[in-house]
Structure formats: C-alpha cells, structure tokens
Amino acid sequence: MTNFKNNKRAAIISEGTYWLLRFVLISIFAGAVILILIAHYSRPFDVRDAESAILAQKTINCIKPELFLTEDSFINSGNRISSCIEIPKDDEKKIFINATLSNFTDNLKPYFQLGNEGLGIYFGTAMCNTVASSPSCTEYRYYAINETGSQFIIDIKIINNKNS
C-alpha cells in the first residue's frame, strides 16, 4: 500500500512540474510575440521618399509617354500632367512637384508646377529631411530626346510634407 501512495504522490508532483514547464514555455512564447509587436510598431515608418520616387516616375511617364519627347508633351502640359498623375485632393496641399526642362545649352525653363507652391521655399534649404516632421525634399534627373535627336534634361523636384 505504501508503494501506491508514493507513486500517486510522485505522479502528482510530476504532473505539477509539467504544468509549470508548460506555463513557462507559453509565457516565453507570448512574451516574445509581444516584444516583436512592440519593436515593429514602435518605430514610425517614413515612406515619403518612396512616395516621391513613385510620383517622379508617374510625372516622367506623363511628360513623355512614348520613347521621345513630342510637341504634344509641351502643349497645355500642366493640366494634362496633373490629370495624369492623379494626386488625391487631400494630399494636394502636402505635395509640391516642380519640373523644369532644359537642353544642354539653354538655362532651365519651367515646365510645370503642381501642388502647394508654398512648399517650394523648402527646396535647397537646410529645413529639408532634418527631422521626421520636416518636409522630404527629393530631386530626380531624367534625360530625354525628341524626334530630331535633340537632347533634354528633365529635372523633377518633389517636396512631400505628409506626416508618416
């Protein structure tokens, strides 16, 4: 009879030990998941530069949808390009796009501007890209030719003041 009591006591102790180990393992797993979620969501992600790159690509595709610059690229360019890029109305006050066109001999000629022109003062100043709340200023340069073989430079400056 004493062997039965000892085995029953040992079974209860070993079952309690298993439950304690299960609880510890579940706690470690839950703690790791919580720490990963905290680490992932505690940092703000700044996607303004990526968004600016996408806007620049859309802009250049609207300026020269074909391989060459054509005369149609310059006719009523502002309205045509603004309808082509399709910036949402609530973002128009937070984004400024300035495109200039030049050949290799002439000075820059303004091509078109789109968005909040008040943001244009930030470009070229130390106020760009300093902290998360400052506007993101990016510049892209594209090379293009027309049907006659003349070469052009298209400079696109984008100021994005959207908060991430």
What are the pLDDT digits (tens) for 82-140?
777 877 777 778 888 888 877 777 665 667 777 777 777 676 665 666 666 677 788 88
- Domain ranges across the chain: 1-43, 48-160
Q: Which fold has domain 48-160?
A: Ribosomal protein S3 C-terminal domain (3.30.1140)
Q: What is the mean pLDDT of residues 58-71?
A: 75
The pLDDT assigned to 60 comes to 84
Residue 65 burial (C-beta neighbours within 10 Å; 0-12, 13-18, 19+): exposed
Q: How far apart are CA 144 and CA 152, in angstroms?
A: 5
Residue 80 pLDDT exceeds 80:
no
